[in-house]
Amino acid sequence: MGKIKVLPDAVANQIAAGEVVERPASVVKELLENSLDAGSTDIRVEIEAGGRRLIRITDNGSGMMRDDAMLAFERHATSKLSSVHDLESIGTLGFRGEALPSIGSVSRLTLETHSRDESSGTRVEISGGKMIKCEDAGLAAGTILTIRDLFFNVPARKKFLRSEQTELAHIASLVTHYSLAHPDKSFELHHGPSELLRVTPVSTALERVFQVFGNRILEDLVEFGPETKSLSTPEGEQKKFSLSGFVSKPHIQKLNRNSIYLFVNGRLIRDKLLLHALTSAYHNLIPPACYPFALLFLDCDFGEVDVNVHPSKTEVRFRHSSFVHDFVRDAVRGKLMESKPVSSLPLPSYQTQPASSLPFSEFTQRIENTAPDYSEMVVPFPDGPPPEPRTLPNFRLDLPAGPPQRFDFNDVPQATMPPARMRIPDTHGPLPPGVASATEMESMGSLGDLRPIGQIHNSFIIAAGRDGLWIIDQHVAHERILFEQVLRQFARREAQQQRLLMPMVMELSVGQHLEYARIAEELARAGFETEPFGNRTIAIQAAPTGLGPGDIEKAIHEILDIAETELRKSSVEDLRRNIAASVACRAAIKINTPLDQQKMDYLLLELAKCEYPMACPHGRPIALRYSTRDILKGFHRI
């Protein structure tokens, strides 16, 4: 007798359930998507014991007729596909026809449904894959699906479920995701007697974000879209892609991807391609180990995306993946560049990574390892000294003295210096007209209008503006300026070099030596003139302008180490950006460097010209703003 045999339906259904029903959230996802496909505008989800004991989803969709209600529990029975050609252009969230029979095979399920085309509804009861009852019932239009005792007949699967709170968190995240994708619908989520989510229909995605997350997060988001782009196919067709949504300002830095919400044609997905595109958009804007908040909606022709690549329908495959990747990356990065969002004080409480732990951080040069010495807080008077210089305890008012130690501004043309800046009046009377009611500037575009008034610890520039008080990190500000200059020189092949009096000989590790051979041409484009000099040794004959003798070797080591650990699979553009970042960091003005008025003015004016003046190439914020409104609130003026 042969060894191969056809499995019984009960076993086949439980195998299918293993692919479709991983945990209670998987059940909620399948049923929620069916409700949306049925045209529901009001969806209620009820949970008990994290979904183990009860999952009930009630909707006001189209419902099912009696025959359809019975047929829906047959494997591969669906109303959403009729031929193999339909698989090439799927426009519904559900389509496999496996969800209901798979769920019914591992639970006690009750379906109550009423189609408006019939006079009465239908109730179907199934236990462990066997139909127990099918009868008429007086029901309102729509569908109620009740799942009890999930995995009651598969104890091995039940044993692998996590805690009640963990399973509930997965369900809450899922319902939240879909409520964000469908702002025109009502969603409710209840866990026992507790109401976890209730949102009513609104007209815009912005209003739905406010409903779900509150006003605080709106202050940290940049809204964009719809951004559109068309692709011309070899067949002469025009395929249109559209992207809209919200992304966080760079100072919002998450330690995981849990705050990234991705939808393709209204379908919730986890897609490596889109995640990589989003990460690339924030490259050099936030630290490498951090992630933004993002709510992105990508819409395209149904035929451009294959959603039939994973049993749970959470992964997709794009027909033109490179085009989609670059479109998403460029759209997000372009919006960030355009809006130039500014980080406001106080910073959000969910800041994650301290500056001292970031790569190449010059912030660790002493400033975090010593107690603040307020006697070194110097506030110059750009319009001349005060009538009577006064000294306060631990606080000195004085003119800036002496040239910088590590940063030469002597070639700065006088024509670039701005005229005298606006003054912030000091009065105990009524506020000056327009100050209390002025619209807060939320962009770094106002950098060029700031008036520097001094330094803290010879490291941070304090500047006054019409929109508040600003604190600028002079090292990372200059780092951003140099970074963009080096990138422009890369593009034009015009790197500025300084020749060394004597070649500098460097020994490399085996890994560094291999990477040197791979990226030697890019090093040359950046301004390094090098050549092999024996076994695992190179000679440096020239280096980019601005690098001191002690920084040249450090910059080369950093570039080779990054190339070895991070960039082997990255693009040439990423390699160039990291080379530029290393050169800029080493060449930039250091902390503990006193600056006079002219040099502070120059820094701010050059920073204002940058494409992206919000963050240094390693993701640290450049400037923080204490807004006029916050100042007024602090002094109880408003």
**pLDDT(607) > 70:** yes
H-helix or E-strand spanning residue 190: strand 186-191
CA distance 78 to 64: 12
Look at 201-210, 434-443, 512-521, 585-594 and tell me which has the smallest mean pLDDT: 434-443
CA distance 562 to 209: 38
Whether pLDDT at 465 is above 80: yes
Read off the pLDDT of residues 172-184 as tens digits, 9 standing for 90 and up: 989 998 999 999 9
- Interval 378-392 mean pLDDT: 35
Q: Which long-range contacts (CB under 8 A, 24 or more apart) does 270-274 make?
A: 270/314, 270/315, 271/315, 271/316, 273/318, 273/321, 273/324, 273/325, 274/298, 274/324, 274/325, 274/328
Beta strand 623-627 pairing with 343-344: parallel
Q: Which residue has the higher pLDDT, 75 or 264?
A: 264
Q: Residue 565: which of 607, 610, 509 has the closest Cα?
A: 509
Pair of tokens at residue 314: 């959470």
Instruction: Give the helix ranges, DSSP H, for 133-213.
Output: 155-159, 164-181, 205-213
Cα separation, 443 vs 446, whole angstroms: 7
Is-contact 524 509, C-beta < 8 A?
Answer: no
Q: What is the pLDDT of residues 511-564, one digit of tens each?
A: 888 889 888 998 998 999 999 988 889 999 999 988 888 889 889 988 888 776
Residue 53 in 3-state DSSP? Answer: coil
Mean pLDDT of 70-97: 65
Q: Which H helix or E strand runs over 326?
A: helix 321-339
Alpha-carbon gap, residue 491 to 610, rounded angstroms: 16
Which of 281-290, 484-493, 502-511 shows the lowest mean pLDDT across its residues?
A: 281-290
Dump pLDDT digits (tens) for 451-464.
999 999 999 999 99
Structure-block tokens of residue 48: 């008990």
Q: What is the per-residue pLDDT for 413?
A: 43
Indicate whether 415 pLDDT > 80. no
Alpha carbon 60 to its chain's center:
35
Q: Which two tokens stand for residue 545?
A: 């302008």
| Helices 24-37 + 164-181 axis angle, to 10 | 20
Across the range 470-485, mean pLDDT stands at 94
Q: What's the CA gap between 201 and 203, in Å, rounded?
A: 7
Sequence spans of domains, the chain: 9-199, 220-339, 355-424+436-478+591-634, 495-587
Higher-pLDDT residue of 636 and 130 is 130
Assigned token pair, 499: 């020749």
Among 334-338, 397-401, 523-527, 613-617, the minimum mean pLDDT is found in 397-401
222: nearest Cα among 108, 342, 79, 335: 335
Helices (H) and strands (E) in the chain, counts: 16, 26
Could you tell me which CATH class the domain 355-424+436-478+591-634 is placed in?
A: alpha beta
Between CA 295 and CA 617 the distance in angstroms is 24
- Stretch among 14-28, 177-191, 495-509 having the lowest mean pLDDT: 14-28
* Superfamily for the 9-199 domain: Histidine kinase-like ATPase, C-terminal domain (3.30.565.10)
Q: Return the closest-CA partner of residue 616 out of 595, 596, 571, 586.
A: 586
Pair 183, 204: CB distance under 8 Å: yes
Specify the higher pLDDT residue, 137 or 285. 137
Please give the Cα distance from 248 to 107 (Å, whole number).
Answer: 41
Least confident of 109-113, 229-233, 356-360, 634-638: 356-360
The residue ranking higher by pLDDT, 345 or 98, is 98
DSSP state of 365: G
Give the residue from 551, 273, 253, 510 showing the smallest Cα distance to 407: 551
Q: Between 214 and 242, where is the model more confident?
A: 242
Q: What is the pLDDT of residue 80?
A: 52
CA–CA dist 39, 92 (Å, integer): 11
Spell out where 342-402 has E strands: 343-344, 378-379, 391-392, 395-397
Instruction: Choose which CATH entry (3.30.420.40, 3.30.365.10, 3.30.230.10, 1.10.1240.10) describes domain 220-339.
Output: 3.30.230.10
Across 273-284, average pLDDT: 90
- What mean pLDDT comes out for the span 226-236? 87
Span 244-267, pLDDT tens digits: 999 998 888 888 888 898 999 988
pLDDT on residue 78? 63
Average pLDDT over residues 86-111: 78
Tokens 């995306």 sit on residue? 305
pTM: 0.68
Higher model confidence: residue 382 or residue 638? 638
What does the angle CA 568 – CA 570 – CA 571 come to, to the nearest 5 degrees?
Answer: 125
**What is the reported pLDDT for 94?**
62
**pLDDT band (50, 70, 90) for residue 7:** low
Write down the pLDDT at residue 372. 35
H-only helix segments in 497-627: 510-526, 549-565, 572-587, 597-608
Distance CA 147, CA 126 (A): 10
Where are the alpha helices (H) located in 353-462, listed in sequence order? none
Report whether CATH 3.40.50.920 matches the domain 495-587.
no
d(CA 591, CA 510): 34
Question: What is the residue-averaged pLDDT of the chain?
Answer: 79
Check pLDDT > 50 for residue 411.
Answer: no
Q: What is the pLDDT of residue 11?
A: 59
| Mean pLDDT, residues 401-413 taken together | 43
**Is pLDDT at 171 greater than 60 in this prediction?**
yes
Is a pLDDT exceeding 80 seen at residue 489? yes
Band the pLDDT of 417: cuts 50, 70, 90: very low
Distance of CA 88 to the CA centre of its chain: 31
Query: What was the pLDDT predicted at 512?
Result: 86
Contact assessment for residue 336 and residue 222, using Cβ atoms and an 8 Å cutoff: yes
pLDDT at 352: 40
pLDDT band of residue 439 (cuts 50, 70, 90) is very low
The predicted-structure confidence for 189-200, as pLDDT tens digits, reads as follows 999 999 999 999
In angstroms, the CA 131 to CA 69 distance is 12
In this prediction, residues 576-597 reach a mean pLDDT of 90
**Tokens representing residue 581 in the block:** 């970042």
> Beta strand pairing status for 460-465 and 468-473?
antiparallel
> 156: exposed, middle or buried (C-beta count within 10 Å: 0-12, 13-18, 19+)?
exposed
Task: Give pLDDT, residue 1.
Answer: 55
Q: Is the pLDDT of residue 125 over 50?
A: yes
Q: Is the pLDDT of residue 335 over 60?
A: yes
- Residue 466: pLDDT band (50, 70, 90) is confident
DSSP structure class, residue 374: G
Higher pLDDT, 352 or 234: 234
